[in-house]
Amino acid sequence: MLVVYAPQHALHDPPREFLEGRFAPYAEAPARAEIILRTLEAASIGPLITPDDHGLAPVLAVHTPDYVDHLRTLYGRWTAAGGAPDAAFPAAFPRPGLDRASRAPWALPGLYSFDMSAPVTAGTYTAALAAAHCALTGAARLQAGERAVYALCRPPGHHAAADLMGGYCYLNNAAIAAHYLAADGARRVAILDIDVHAGNGTQAIFYARADVLFVSLHGAPDWEYPYFSGYADQRGAGAGLGFTVNFPLEKGVDDARYLSVLAAALAHIRAFAPDYVVLSAGFDTFHADPLGQFRLTTPVYGEIGARVAALGVPVLAVQEGGYARDALGENAVSLLRGLEAGR
Ligand code: SP5
Ligand code: ZN
């Protein structure tokens, strides 16, 4: 299977995050992508290509120009004001009624961020843009006839909305690829999000659209991050009503339980009859993941891949989360082998 990888991901290496009231080492670290890459190579999964430069237009078709400009310039403005040189980190967020404009540099990091899990470093913009181009390159290969492509994106994207970063995400790689594949409504695209966290950004981006179906299995937001999105009664709006489908699940979901819910999710996708499927592939559903609280095992990712492939539609798998580093490569190999074998 074709794999798209950009070495620029390593330029994004934040020093720490803020987790349950404590500063902690940053879980979404460069080692994640390197481990996946090495394991794919050892398993002879390939060929491996680097992304083509698709420019900014397909990114700006999903994200607002002011947000992309903010992401590009934040670190420079932060350090020029004397902010910590390792990363721009938010400490204040505008809220309804507390949202007047401010020129204070310390206000900047919170302007387009919903949490403290998306520090912006010197290399964040370059890495995030390269990840978006990995997903776009995979999408273009599907258009050219490829049946399945894996975009090894880092940083991940599914928590990022049109003008919002958070949850380790800056540019929404899967959404950018899905919008590109939808080709102004000429094609139907289904996004299946299997990261353990609800893809609030992807959901928001496509909430009012009927040409892109968003289906997500995740820990229910009444106990799991991102807490404020991902409920079953969030079903889309306007023309998009019915084209967002959430499966919020309980703690401790195991392989059998997951596969039974996946069958229901795939039934929605089959009924939609998409031209393309974008798989937001997180492995933080794994039993040993330090952030997730599901109990999936390595073989089930192969079964998930086979069932997605059985849709008979070209698939772009986009890397999202997954923090059990020792198992990350094996879990990716399992998924990709399933995607290959299932067709
Ligand atoms: C892309 C992605 O997977 N982003 C996830 C960001 C999650 N950040 C906060 C998670 C807090 C979950 N609570 C940890 C419970 C283990 N003690
Ligand atoms: Zn996640």
Q: Which residue's alpha carbon is nearest to atom 5 within ligand 1?
A: 167
pLDDT in tens, 26-74: 999 999 999 999 999 999 999 999 999 999 999 999 999 999 999 999 9
Q: Are strands 276-281 and 189-193 parallel, antiparallel or unpaired?
A: parallel
For ligand 1, the distance from its centroid to the CA atom of residue 232, given in whole angstroms, is 20
For ligand 2, the distance from its centroid to the CA atom of residue 264, given in whole angstroms, is 21
**Ligand with smallest separation from the Cα of 155:** 1
* Res. 341: pLDDT tops 90: no
Q: Which residues pair with 215 in a beta bridge?
A: 192, 245
The two most distant CA atoms of the chain are separated, in Å, by 55
* Res. 343: pLDDT tops 60: no
pLDDT in tens, 150-168: 999 999 999 999 999 999 9
pLDDT in tens, 285-302: 999 999 999 999 999 999
90 closest CA partner among 67, 68, 115, 70: 115
Cβ pair 323, 291 in contact under 8 A: yes
What does pTM read for this prediction? Answer: 0.98
Q: Which residues pair with 249 in a beta bridge?
A: 219
For ligand 2, the distance from its centroid to the CA atom of residue 148, given in whole angstroms, is 22
φ, ψ at 307 (rounded to 5°): -70, -35
pLDDT in tens, 134-154: 999 999 999 999 999 999 999
Q: Which residue's alpha carbon is nearest to atom 4 within ligand 1?
A: 167
Q: Which residue's alpha carbon is nearest to atom 7 within ligand 1?
A: 167
Which one is catalytic: 54, 63, 159, 179? Answer: 159
Measured in whole angstroms, the distance separating CA 70 from the mean position of its chain's CA atoms is: 20
Per-residue confidence (pLDDT) for residue 31, from 0 to 100: 98
Residue 268 annotated as catalytic: no
46 closest CA partner among 155, 190, 146: 146
Lining residues, ligand 1, CB within 6 Å? 117, 156, 159, 167-169, 195, 197, 225, 282, 284, 291, 320-321
- And the tokens for 93? 């967020």
